[in-house]
Amino acid sequence: MKIWNSPQDIPAGFGGAVVTIGIYDGVHRGHREVLVHLVREAEKRGLPALVLTFDPHPLTVHRPEADIYLVSTLEDRLNRLQAQGVDIVYVQPYSLEYSQLQASDFITEQLVGLLGARCVVVGEDARFGSGNTGDVQLLREVGQRLGFDVCIVRDKTDDDGERLSSTRIRQALAEGDVEEAARILGRPHRIGGVVCQGEQRGRDLGFPTANLTGDNLGEVPAHGVYSGWLVRDVPGTRATEYMPAAISIGTNPQFNATQRTVEVHVLGRSDLNLYGEYIQVDFVSRIRPMMKFSSVDELLARMDKDLLATADRLGVPPAGRVPQGAVTAQPQEQ
């Protein structure tokens, strides 16, 4: 798949494409409905399937004061678009200046003039241009005048008629309902980051963890304990490894900490050295909310239950605490 970031990336003599427009945050089931039509229409016409997407997310530009995180990173978005059979992605840098482009100019200058749209495939709720004033009706009117086709894909909805959307995914994650998020996505929700050194309490308690912190992890679910998978690229190979994990998200109230962390404990493993490595985390189900217990012993007893629940939810053999002194990973030197 080709990735273009500016007009200079478009080769001379580019013969046009079948184009769709959207942020495609998460590339959820509703998005994939549009992408299936895009690829099918492109194959029928013998043209490349092209996605025009935007980075950063428009909401972060128009509302910088709001804590808005993406369901998926740009890299993950691009990977998932490629998996859907997209041939080209044009990543449009989004800015306040760009947002002032009038809807009709967006069609004539960018879709047709720059990207050579022969056919535009969009969902029925598509909006574009300054103030989101552009819609499918305007696309059809301009298409008739300039000679490109417009294909409208009906929104994918639940049985009750509610549209599948990235907003609904964010709402579900804010409530810790990772199963609802996965239902809309069509797969488990995923975040990712570089493993950093934590307080190392977990290894002393028998629960060594890979720790992720910061605001660049993606849309982190509500505080609590979850079952899921630690996903990593095996060094020196092209293989990807999925390891069953119990995941704790929160500020660690038992020890009066204040910084939110994502702590990932791989069931039964004491030999993993992941410091400095980029990992991803897939969330399968929520086991319980974050809690403060009356004693460390009470915390340990509950964590033992969390490990059993995690194994049960993931369908893997149960594993208990790691013996003290068995952890081989050593923090990186500062």
pLDDT tens track for 75-101: 999 999 999 999 999 999 999 999 999
pTM (2 d.p.) = 0.89
Model confidence at 229: pLDDT above 80:
yes
- Per the CB < 8 A criterion, the answer to whether 306 and 288 are in contact is yes
Model confidence at 202: pLDDT above 70:
no
- Look over the chain and give the mean of its residue pLDDT values, rounded to a whole number: 91
Model confidence at 290: pLDDT above 80:
yes
User: What pLDDT, on a 0 to 100 scale, did the predictor assign at position 199?
Assistant: 64
How large a percentage of the chain has pLDDT more than 70? 93
Please state the rounded mean pLDDT for residues 273-299.
Answer: 92
Confidence of residue 325 (pLDDT cuts 50, 70, 90): low
CB atoms within 10 A of CB 312: 13
Model confidence at 333: pLDDT above 60:
no
Model confidence at 68: pLDDT above 80:
no
Whole-number Cα distances in Å, 178 to 76, 168, 221, 260, 286: 18, 11, 7, 18, 7
The token duo for 85 is 């059979």
Model confidence at 188: pLDDT above 60:
yes
User: What pLDDT, on a 0 to 100 scale, did the predictor assign at position 334?
Assistant: 45
Confidence of residue 60 (pLDDT cuts 50, 70, 90): confident
Closest CA to 223 of 315, 286, 158: 286
User: What pLDDT, on a 0 to 100 scale, did the predictor assign at position 332?
Assistant: 56
Confidence of residue 331 (pLDDT cuts 50, 70, 90): low
* Burial zone of 104 (CB within 10 Å; 0-12 exposed, 13-18 middle, 19+ buried): middle
How large a percentage of the chain has pLDDT more than 90? 72
* Burial zone of 183 (CB within 10 Å; 0-12 exposed, 13-18 middle, 19+ buried): middle
Determine if the peptide bond prior to 93 is cis (ω within 30°). Answer: no
CA gap 91, 37 in Å, rounded: 20
User: What pLDDT, on a 0 to 100 scale, did the predictor assign at position 255?
Assistant: 60
User: What pLDDT, on a 0 to 100 scale, did the predictor assign at position 235?
Assistant: 83
Residue matched to tokens 């069509």: 186
Instruction: Lowest mean pLDDT of 107-121, 172-186, 194-208, name the range.
Output: 194-208
Model confidence at 3: pLDDT above 80:
yes
Please state the rounded mean pLDDT for residues 112-117.
Answer: 97
User: What pLDDT, on a 0 to 100 scale, did the predictor assign at position 258?
Assistant: 61
Whole-number Cα distances in Å, 137 to 52, 90, 101, 150, 258: 19, 24, 18, 10, 51
Whole-number Cα distances in Å, 20 to 89, 116, 141, 291: 10, 12, 17, 45
User: What pLDDT, on a 0 to 100 scale, did the predictor assign at position 207?
Assistant: 86
- Per the CB < 8 A criterion, the answer to whether 23 and 51 are in contact is no
Model confidence at 46: pLDDT above 50:
yes
